[in-house]
Chain A
Amino acid sequence: MQRDEQFPSPAVQARGLVKIWGTERTVDGVDLTVPAGSIYGVLGPNGAGKTTTIRMLATLLRPDGGTAEIYGHDVVSEAHVVRQLIGLTGQYASVDDRLTGRENLVIFGRLLGLGSSEAKKRADELLESFDLTEAAARSVKKFSGGMRRRLDLAASLIAQPPLIFLDEPTTGLDPRTRAQMWDTIRHLVETGSTVLLTTQYLDEADALADRVAVIDHGRVVAEGTVDALKASIGITSLNITLRQASDHRAAERIVYDTLGLAAVETRESQRVVAPLADAERATDVLVALRRAGIAIAELTVQKPTLDEVFLTITGQVPTAEQAPAVEEVGSR
């Protein structure tokens, strides 16, 4: 990607964003820099504070601390300007159930300053490109989840905003609809938009995002390119089933000592799971286990789940308690 030197400022620049609900610091000092013209992923488990962060960036919520700028415009003091630069597709469809798909788009178009015929034309274009022409005259109440999501995304694109927020765009969609949504998102960036999306899925961030911020408990725990992130956590995980549950502690210790990385907490007392940066190291673990006299029932090597990624990054281990620290995982 060629950088344009004259380009004024990044699409999103957030510094120390904070949102407090009651006593809970849902967003606890989030820094984000989203370069223009890219897909940026915010990856985190349910409840991490992704939606709250997006709502602050999209001027829906006032931050309790920190600042955020969209193309250099402050989200609080210049909210009206920011709203002219963004499109938001929230986690829950924000379209009107009782109106038809077309009526929704026409009304949003009119609110955005299009004339009556212009708004209709734009609505029809969008319905066409999101494969909703047939359903256009139907009440949104009768739409499927995937159709609703597409209509919601179409509504965010009426004014062709340079920055688009997508909050968990594929959660709850079936695999086929999900793949279509991915194509749509890639297409958006090809046509010149910047996209900030949140997701709970590692594979989604992997498939779409140029850079990711991993957030947990309202904090950015890792930031960088997807490749760098994957390299740092290992692309596979070692999955050991023990003969005896009583060996669990000892096995975890050995894994930690051998790999230098913590084992992941599992619900089954006979299983030990650990991220594996290098498949060769599996042998070292096996040798160490045999030496300690720990018997193994089964052994597999798998791709890591998001839980494992988190535990690796945050370093929260049953044996060594430590606060989550921001880890720079390198950049291109």
Chain B
Amino acid sequence: MSISRLERQALESRAISRRPSFGQTLHHTLMMAYRTLLRVRRTPEQWADVTFQPIVFTLMFTYIFGGAIAGNVQNYLPLIIPGLLVMTVVTTSIQTGVQLREDMDTGVFDRFKSLPIARIAPLAGALLADTVRYLIATVLTLAMGYLMGYRPEGGIAAVALAALLVIVSAWAVSWIFAFFGVVARTAASVQGLSMVILFPLTFLSNALVPAKTLPHILQIFVRFNPISHLVTAIRALANTGTVNGNLAVSLIGAAVIVLIFAPLTVRAYMRKA
């Protein structure tokens, strides 16, 4: 048998597809998420930030601002724990972009690019795996609050829903940092650029202080800041068990971010040499 006949058989026996189906795309994404989690198991220090930051932030901000803003720490908890929850988890999502950049520099992404898999899978997988990070940060922040005496009146189901909302929002926001991760030259520049954007968004919001204590000009910014809407929605859910318009605004905002940044990120990823 000639060599080329063998080869032709190899070609003919393959079920060649023109593009990955939706089911395959989902499968590829889950596999890529699994890979990211396997990596983390081997280098747990990669997750130091999601354990350290919730504990330290919660203690620090509650005791620094508690007395000044709400008279005492106990009264401040219903205000600050939802605020800190949003701040901490959304800040954690910066790390997604940083790690994506580092990962892309290792060369294994060259193999992913040469495999017949959905182009979005390596990115979406990494982002999906990171929702585990957000979950850890969420649980730790809420647990710290509980230890300090926070008893959300919305009940456990409402708090779980609030936690889910935070995680979904952080995942949406992480597409922005994934985009930076793909276009930036170094991991350090991803970190820097992301901080520049996220710092005003989180601090110039109602996360730590009631908006009405701020100067007028800042109040306008705070009111339009999407982070404020998310914080307000979380507070309503956790503290009173109610759903308000801010929840819809937050979800729409999250969807808009994904619709803009996911295609941008995939395109930049495919153009990158």
Contacts and interface: CB of A to CB of B under 8 A. Distances in A.
Contact of A139 (B20, B28, B42): B42
Interface string A70-97: 0100000010110111111010111111
A265 interface: no
Contacts of A13: none
Q: Which of A4, A97, A193 has the most CB of B within 10 A?
A: A4
Interface residues of B, number: 40
Contact of A111 (B19, B117, B273): B117
Interface in A1-57: 1-4, 6-8, 11, 36-38, 55
A103 B114 contact: no
Contact of A160 (B3, B10, B115): B10
Contact of A7 (B4, B18, B111, B114): B4
A98 interface: yes
Contacts of B28: 111
Interface string B39-81: 1001100000000000000000000000000000000000000
A65 to B, nearest CB: 16
B18 to A, nearest CB: 6
Nearest to B46: A98
Interface stretch (B102-110, B141-149, B153-161, B221-229): B102-110
A137 interface: no
A88 B114 contact: yes
A38 B3 CA distance: 9
Contact of B2 (A4, A58, A83): A4
A86 B11 CA distance: 11
A71 B116 contact: no
B11 A155 contact: no
Contacts of B113: 59-60
Contacts of A78: 18
Contacts of B24: 113
B111 A95 contact: yes
B31 A111 contact: yes
B10 A192 contact: yes
Contacts of B106: 96-97
A85 B17 CA distance: 11
A174 B146 CA distance: 61
Contacts of A103: 38
B10 to A, nearest CB: 5
Chain A contact patch, size range: 35 or more
Interface string B1-34: 0111111101100101111100010001001101
B151 interface: no
A239 interface: no
Contacts of A111: 28, 31-32, 112, 115, 117, 121
Contacts of A60: 110, 113-114, 273
Contact of A98 (B11, B16, B32, B43): B43
B115 A94 contact: no
Contact of A83 (B42, B108, B114, B121): B114
Contact of B3 (A37, A81, A97, A110): A37
Nearest to B14: A84
A133 B50 CA distance: 36
Contacts of B112: 111
B111 A108 contact: yes
A61 interface: yes
Q: Which of A1, A8, A94, A112 has the most CB of B within 10 A?
A: A94
A86 B42 CA distance: 31
Interface string A126-140: 000000000000010
B107 A4 contact: no
Nearest to B117: A111
A296 interface: no
Contacts of A112: 115-116
A99 B39 contact: yes
A87 B115 CA distance: 8
B107 A90 contact: yes
B4 A90 contact: no
A61 B111 contact: no
B271 interface: yes
Interface of A: 1-4, 6-8, 11, 36-38, 55, 58-62, 71, 78, 80-81, 83-88, 90, 92-99, 103, 107-108, 110-113, 139, 155, 160, 162, 189, 191-194
Given A71-B11, A92-B110, 6 more contacts: A4-B8, A84-B17, A93-B107, A95-B111, A99-B39, A192-B3
20 contacts: A1-B2, A2-B2, A4-B2, A7-B8, A8-B8, A37-B2, A55-B273, A61-B273, A80-B20, A83-B115, A84-B116, A85-B14, A88-B110, A92-B107, A95-B107, A95-B111, A96-B106, A99-B35, A111-B28, A160-B10
